[in-house]
Amino acid sequence: MLPIIFSCAGTTLSEAERKLFTRCQPAGFIVFKRNCETPSQTKQLTDALRDCINQEDVPILIDQEGGRVVRLDAPHWWPAPAAVSYLQQTSDLMEAARLAEADAKRTADQLIAVGINVNCAPVLDCPIPDADQVIGERAYSSSPQEIITLAKAAIAGYQAGGVIPVIKHIPGHGRALVDSHEALPVVDASVQDLCDRDFLPFQALAKSVPWAMTAHVIYTAYDTERCGTISPKVIQEVIRQHIGFEGVLVSDDLSMKALSGDVVTKVRDSLAAGCDLALYCDGNLADMEILANSIAPVKPISFPPNIS
C-alpha cells in the first residue's frame, strides 16, 4: 500500500489514472467539486476508484463540512449550514447539538449514496478574535466546551449514517493569523494557553473518532521551525501523548502553500514526522507518478472501525 491519499483530475478516471492507481495501490482517495457533477456520475467515479484497489472498504474522502466548505452542492445535493450557524439558530446548546447531529446524519446519508465513506469534518478548531477567517464560520464556537458538545453531536450523526468523521485540524488551527492555503501560520502562544484552550476539543474527542487531520501551523512553544504536519515533536508529544489520539493521522493537503519544497519532500517529511497517511489533493498526474515511484509502500493499515 502506498501511504498516500490521491485525487483525480475530473469527473471520470482517465486510462492513465486508472493504470497508476491500480499499479501503486494508494491508501485511499479524496474527491472535490471538480469530480462531482451529479449523484449518478459521482457514484460511477467512486465505483471506478474502488475497482482500482479491488477493496470494498477503501477510504474515499471528501470535505463536506457545510457552509462554504462543501464539495457536493445544490441543486443535486443538500448542503448543511456552516458550523457557526447552530448557536445562531438557538441559544439552547442541547437543541443546537440536536440540529448538528441531524444535519450530520443527513449529510452522511448523501455521502454513502454516492460511495463516499469518510468525511473530513467536524472542525474542532477554537478561533481567537483576530484570527484569519480561513476557519471563521467553520468553527462551531470560540468556546472549547461548546465546540466539544456540538462536534460530539456531529460525530454521532456521521457515524449513525455509516460515515467515518475526521476531526481537524489537530492540534488546533484557531490562532492562525494567515490562511495556511496561502502561507505558513506561526502561533506563539504558550504551552499553557494551548493546553487550556486549543487542545481541549481534540483531547475530549480523541477516543471518539478513528481519524484526525493535522494542521499546517508552527507552534513555537513546541517547534520553532516545523509546522505540526511535519514536526515529530508536535505529533508525538502533543497529538499522540498529550491529546491522546491513537487512530489514523492524515496530513492536511500537502499541495497547500504553507509547506515549501517539492511534493516528494513534503510527503516524506509528513510520514517521517509520524503521519500515517499523506494527503495529496491537486490531482496532477505527473506529481502522482513521481510520488508512486519515490515513496516506499508500507504494509496495509488496519483502519480502525467507525467508532460509535
Out of 103, 252, 269, 287, pick the active-site residue: 252
* DSSP label of 195: I
128, burial (CB in 10 Å: exposed 0-12, middle 13-18, buried 19+):
middle
* Three-class SS state of 210: coil
Give 42-60 pLDDT, tens digit per residue: 999 999 999 999 887 899 9
CA distance 304 to 308: 12
Give 73-86 pLDDT, tens digit per residue: 999 999 999 999 99
Q: Taking 60 as the threshold, does the pLDDT of residue 308 lie above it?
A: no
- Maximum separation of any 2 CA atoms in the chain, in Å: 54
Residue 252 designated active-site: yes
Q: Residue 179: which pLDDT band, with cuts at 50, 70 and 90?
A: confident
Give 129-166 pLDDT, tens digit per residue: 998 899 999 999 999 999 999 999 999 999 999 999 99
Kindly state the average pLDDT of the residues 298-305: 75
CA distance 155 to 104: 7
CA distance 111 to 158: 10
Out of 47, 57, 181, 196, pick the active-site residue: 181
Question: What is the percentage of the chain residues whose pLDDT exceeds 90?
Answer: 91
* DSSP label of 222: T
Residue 300, Cβ neighbours under 10 Å: how many? 11
Give 95-128 pLDDT, tens digit per residue: 999 999 999 999 999 999 999 999 999 999 999 9
2-293: CATH architecture = Alpha-Beta Barrel (3.20)
Residue type, 216: H
Residue whose grid cell is 483530475: 9
Residue 109 designated active-site: no
**215 in Cβ contact with 230 (< 8 Å):** no
Q: Taking 70 as the threshold, does the pLDDT of residue 305 lie above it?
A: no
pTM for the whole structure? 0.96
